[in-house]
Amino acid sequence: SDGKGHYNANCKYCIKERWKRGRPSVMESHLALHCKGDVPDKIRQHWLVQ
């Protein structure tokens, strides 16, 4: 943790995307709109409609 409730995070579906402070909204947006990896359609759709 960085002391503020955020942790290092990386995308499970693509190797390139890493965050020093994993903010849920940024990671959700990445999965829905930006990830070039093999995100399952069900997961991508889930974050698109949120």
pLDDT in tens, 13-49: 998 889 888 888 999 999 999 999 999 999 999 999 9
0.75 exceeded by pTM: yes
Say whether 9 sits in a helix, a strand or coil.
strand
Residue 1 has pLDDT above 70, yes or no: no
Residue 15 vs residue 11, higher pLDDT: 11
Residue 8 has pLDDT above 70, yes or no: yes
Would you state the pLDDT for residue 3?
Answer: 65
| Contacts of residue 32, Cβ cutoff 8 Å, sequence gap at least 6 | 44, 47, 48, 50
d(Cα 40, Cα 50) in Å, to the nearest integer? Answer: 16
Judge contact between 47 and 28, C-beta under 8 A: yes
Judge contact between 31 and 43, C-beta under 8 A: yes
Residue 5 has pLDDT above 90, yes or no: no
